[in-house]
A and B are shown apart, each in its own frame.
Chain A
Amino acid sequence: QITLKESGPTLVKPTQTLTLTCTFSGFSLRTSGVGVGWIRQPPGEALEWLADIDWNGEETYSPSLKRRLTITMDLSKNQVVLTMTDMDPVDTATFYCAYRRASHYFAHWGRGSLVSVTS
């Protein structure tokens, strides 16, 4: 059974850096074709893909947010970490991590982590 769980702060201040951790089980990021992505959703708004890292360590970022994002993986802990710099109130959103296998869709999602940006 594949599970993913997001963890991190619920509140950050403007200009701070957000660090979110996705802890997963039921699959290995060493397996060919496997990837983990981060997607966010502002309250009442649509889903927005942010970043992805695959079994080969290849990182992909949303072009509009690339300069602010870093995605890394820790295979020993079965974790994927997303950092987002220079947070702004418009970045308030629920952040999801999701499992991707070979193809370009996200088959399993975490429950999400709501992050509010406020001074």
Chain B
Amino acid sequence: QSVLTQPPSVSGAPGQRVTISCTGSSSDIGAGYDVHWYQQLPGTAPKLLIYGNNNRPSGVPDRFSGSKSGTSASLAITGLQADDEADYYCQSYDSVVISWVFGGGTKVTVL
């Protein structure tokens, strides 16, 4: 069972906006540790999508954005496109158990 909680799936029509939540606790996100997001396209390795809550690595479209508040974080995808179909994982750090922690992943489906 993953430490961070994500919805198993979200879906939207092309062009729509979808959001993915990531809920942690007082020992990880709530302790002030940043949240990072990864995109995993089918059959490929995860790729860093958002780091430090709301920063995009070079090459990531500004359709992807992140936010964090309290013990939770969110990833938003605007202008949903067919090639956004992938699994998305949030990740943070747990200071109590001294571990990097991941969410259970969210599958995004473009209708």
Contact = CB atoms under 8 A, between A and B. Distances in A.
Interface of A: 37, 39, 46-49, 52, 60, 62-63, 96, 103-112
29 contacts: A37-B100, A46-B2, A46-B89, A46-B102, A46-B103, A46-B105, A47-B38, A47-B91, A47-B102, A48-B2, A48-B102, A60-B98, A62-B99, A96-B45, A96-B46, A103-B34, A103-B52, A104-B36, A104-B92, A105-B51, A105-B52, A106-B38, A107-B48, A107-B51, A107-B57, A108-B48, A109-B45, A111-B44, A111-B45
A37 B102 CA distance: 13
Closest 7 CB pairs between A and B? A105-B36, A49-B100, A104-B93, A47-B102, A109-B45, A46-B105, A46-B104
Interface of B: 2, 33-34, 36, 38, 44-48, 51-52, 57, 89, 91-93, 97-105
B47 A109 contact: yes
Most A CB contacts (10 A, CB to CB) among B93, B97, B100 go to: B100
